[in-house]
Amino acid sequence: MCASNDVRQETPDALRVDVTDEASVSTMFEKAEQALGPITLLVNCSGVGIFAPLSELSAEDWRRTIDVNLTGAFLCSREAFKRMKAHGGGRIIHMGSVSDHLALVHNAAYAASKHGLRGLTGVLNEEGKTSSIRATLLSLGAVYTSFWHSRPEFSPSDMLSVDDVAQSIWEIAQKPLNVRVDELRLLPSKGVL
DSSP secondary structure string for all residues of 60-94: HHHHHHHIIIIIHHHHHHHHHHHHHHHTT-EEEEE
Question: What does the DSSP assignment read for 108-129?
Answer: HHHHHHHHHHHHHHHHHHHHHT
Distance CA 41, CA 134 (A): 10
CA-closest candidate to residue 68, choices 11, 25, 119, 100: 25
At 42-74, the pLDDT tens digits run 999 998 989 899 999 999 999 999 999 999 999
* pLDDT tens-place string over residues 85-97: 999 999 999 999 9
Looking at residue 43, its pLDDT comes to 97
Return mean pLDDT, the chain: 94
Is pLDDT of 16 > 80?
A: yes
Burial status of residue 150 (CB atoms within 10 A of its CB: 0-12, 13-18, 19 or more) = exposed
CA distance 1 to 172: 17
Mean pLDDT of 32-40: 95
Catalytic position from the list 19, 110, 120, 165: 110
144 is catalytic: no
Q: What pLDDT score was predicted for residue 9? A: 87
Cβ of 190: how many Cβ atoms within 10 Å?
A: 12
CATH for the stretch 38-186: 3.40.50.720
The predicted model gives 15-38 an average pLDDT of: 94
Residue spans of the domains in the chain: they are 38-186
Task: Report pTM.
Answer: 0.93
Beta-strand pair 90-95/2-4: unpaired
Instruction: List, for residues 167-181, the tens digit of each pLDDT value.
Output: 999 999 999 999 999
> What pLDDT is recorded for position 12?
83
Rounded to the nearest 5°, which phi and psi values hold at 82?
A: -60, -45
| Contact between residue 154 and residue 108 where contact means Cβ atoms under 8 Å apart | no
